[in-house]
Structure 1
């Protein structure tokens, strides 16, 4: 005769959530975002003027170089010349690099035509950054108070 076994105890369902797979997925997503986040945004730092700021008078001197971009996107360096010559971005970079090496306190101001493509000014700012200019000023004209848009 077989020994009798006690009746099987009722199995209770496990009411706990197994979070280990969720943690694995979260860690994988974290690594993916950490790797891809620096590649998503490329920008040039620009300190925009505040609305309530007063205009600053700029007197060109030996420490200030004004780089202009006309409507066609051609670069000019305005420095003691009545008729500045047209330059390429590489020529501007070379010139600024040489001047910066001689006079480390050199300031660079950009005067861009309002109709010039935004990319031209951004390329110029990037080129100046490569040339060692960390701070760039933007020259604008104050709006006419009689004209409302």
Structure 2
């Protein structure tokens, strides 16, 4: 009579079956989960600035203009280095002075983000986006 050898291998087929069933369950239930929503503030709830801001206008052709709302001077065209220098000077005199970026709907989002990145890299504080109140 022959003796049988012991097999010391683990049978993984049942584990694979269980994992496939769990995968199918997760795939089915993931489509039923509600998607996340972002509750953005409306224009009517936007806070009003306490001090007149420095306004950066971004045009569709990527030209930049700077306007000082405290003395209602007309906007003057500036390049990036002039813009940063003017903002640093203004915020050195008054660190609480806000800076807002104004852009028309036709301006590409990339252009606005480029200006915001420029201001962030140069440590310009209190930067916001200019919005117009909804017509009543």
Which residue matches 1:92? 83
> Normalising to structure 2: TM-score of the pair?
0.62
User: RMSD of the alignment, in Å?
Assistant: 2.8
Query: Which runs of 5 or more residues in structure 2 are unaligned?
Result: 13-38
Query: 1:4-83 alignment to 2 at 5 Å?
Result: 9-16=3-10, 49-51=40-42, 54-58=45-49, 61=52, 64-79=53-68, 80-83=71-74
Q: Which has the larger radius of gyration?
A: 1
The number of equivalent residue pairs is 108
Match of 1:131 among 122, 127, 131: 122
Distance (Å, rounded) in 2 between the aligned partners of 1:132 and 1:83 = 25
Structure-1-length-normalised TM-score: 0.58
4+ residue segments displaced more than 6 Å: none
